Chains A and B, each alone.
Chain A
Amino acid sequence: MITVKDLHKSFGDNEVLKGIDAKVDEQEVVCVIGPSGSGKSTFLRCLNLLEDITAGEVTIDGDVITDPKVNINEIRSQVGMVFQHFNLFPHKTVIENITLGPVKVKKISEEEAKEAALPLLDKVGLGDKADAYPDSLSGGQKQRVAIARSLAMEPKVMLFDEPTSALDPELVGDVLQVMKDLAEEGMTMVVVTHEMGFAKEVGDRVLFMDEGIVMEEGDPNQIFDDPQNPRTQEFLSKIL
């Protein structure tokens, strides 16, 4: 589903991604872990071209998205992204947050978009919040709306950038549950997270990133219980 070949990304002189190779198969859930500043967010953002890529090639579902001729907006609409700080649109109600993309990008009618959005809201457990404004929701509810907003575009891939790290601990579970359900339905997912329980239970593979490269990758149980690379060992000893 996703193939990344020798991906480089620099901000000015600062090379943040130093040649990433990765593959994500269809229906696979890949978790990305690594220390702060190692380039995890930048990596995800490159996958939906929120950053322009300095060098390398990224293919998503057969489309070479790094090709300059590619329609960026179309690519983005096929790749859902969930942010650490939700980034809901505060001036729009929950349902409007969800329908904006389908109405403006897919050009379907408001009615149709609403009809499609309501089951999504139910799915994330917020069927009764359609007309609420984001400010009235808890962090966990906001994040679930954000997930529904992404799903409304019927993406082929979902990217999650530390979706639970801005949440109070008691709100994390609901969000992880929604993500788990998604994974079980066969969504292809790339998840930056330090939730080891989630990575072990739901993840098919874990990538450990450090200093702009993938230092180690493997089965979640192997990475967490028996890391081979000393950097991975050091990192895990700190977060556990």
Chain B
Amino acid sequence: MIEYLMDSAYYKSIPYLYEGMKLTLYITIVGLFLGFILGAFAGLGRLSKYSIIRAISTVYVEVTRGTPILAQVLFIYYGLTVVNIGELTSAIIAITINAGAYIAEIVRGAVHSIDRGQHEAGRSVGLTEKQTMRYIIWPQAFKRMIPPLGNQFIISLKDTSLFSVIAVAEVLYMGKQYYNATFEIFETLIMVCVFYLIITIPTSIILRRVERKLDV
């Protein structure tokens, strides 16, 4: 039994998938980090008092959420070939833009959920709009963003598997390469899933703990 396992994809694919997982995580983390910045702007933009900023943010969020991420990445990869940004950059941009739209909704929801009285109390001690946002609203809202952001991390992590279509060497792509050579399709795919689960299950558990601790 042990010998069989050691001699099959269950074991032998691990180094390949490990390499793929590193890239998967890299794309997810960089993409989410940039996506958070984009999402924070778009989310706050949707709450702006200027209708033009609200309109731009809303169009971005709705167009992005209303179209498949696969179409988005193909659009970025082939649509931007003039500048030839390569598959890895395309993948990161796709995650940034896609997650950014969902994060915008997370940010908007969290900021919106803070009682209006907090804003009024801030303003009534003389804080400016910006100071009120920075010292009062944002810290409270950010706490409420943590659980849904964790969720978004899991979603985006899985979304990176779509980038195998543009030959990004993420974990699913590496798996495909492996079973194309060895024909151990079933075993390899099992291992691909295991790699995802190694990240997603602990993330879920940590999130639930954090959620309980934050009491949000």
Contacts and interface: CB of A to CB of B under 8 A. Distances in A.
Interface of A: 45, 48, 50, 73-74, 76-81, 83, 85, 87-91, 100-101, 104-105, 146, 149-150, 152-153
Contact of B126 (A74, A87, A88, A91): A74
B89 interface: no
Contacts of A73: 126-128
Interface in B117-137: 117-118, 120-128, 131, 135-136
B3 interface: no
A87 B135 contact: no
13 contacts: A50-B120, A73-B126, A76-B124, A77-B125, A77-B126, A89-B118, A89-B140, A101-B125, A101-B126, A104-B135, A105-B126, A149-B121, A153-B125
A100 B139 CA distance: 14
Contacts of B120: 45, 50, 81, 83, 87
B115 interface: yes
A48 B118 CA distance: 16
Given A100-B135, A104-B131, A89 B121 contact: yes
Contacts of A90: 140
Contacts of A88: 121
Given A85-B117, A87-B117, A91-B140, A50 B123 contact: yes
Contacts of B126: 73-74, 76-78, 101, 105, 153
Contacts of B122: 89
Contact of A104 (B117, B124, B127): B127
Interface residues of B, number: 18
A215 B140 CA distance: 42
Contacts of B139: 91
A48 B121 CA distance: 11
Contacts of B128: 73
Contacts of B131: 104-105
B118 A76 contact: no
Given A88-B121, A89-B118, A105-B127, 13 more contacts: A50-B120, A73-B127, A76-B124, A76-B126, A83-B120, A85-B115, A87-B120, A89-B136, A90-B140, A91-B139, A91-B140, A105-B126, A149-B121
Contacts of A101: 125-127
A188 B140 CA distance: 33
B118 A87 contact: yes
A88 B122 CA distance: 9
Contacts of B115: 85, 87
Contacts of A80: 124
A101 B128 CA distance: 10
Contacts of B117: 83, 85, 87
A149 B121 CA distance: 10
Contact of B124 (A48, A74, A91): A48
| Top-8 shortest CB links A-B | A77-B126, A101-B125, A87-B121, A87-B117, A105-B126, A81-B124, A76-B126, A91-B139
B97 to A, nearest CB: 31
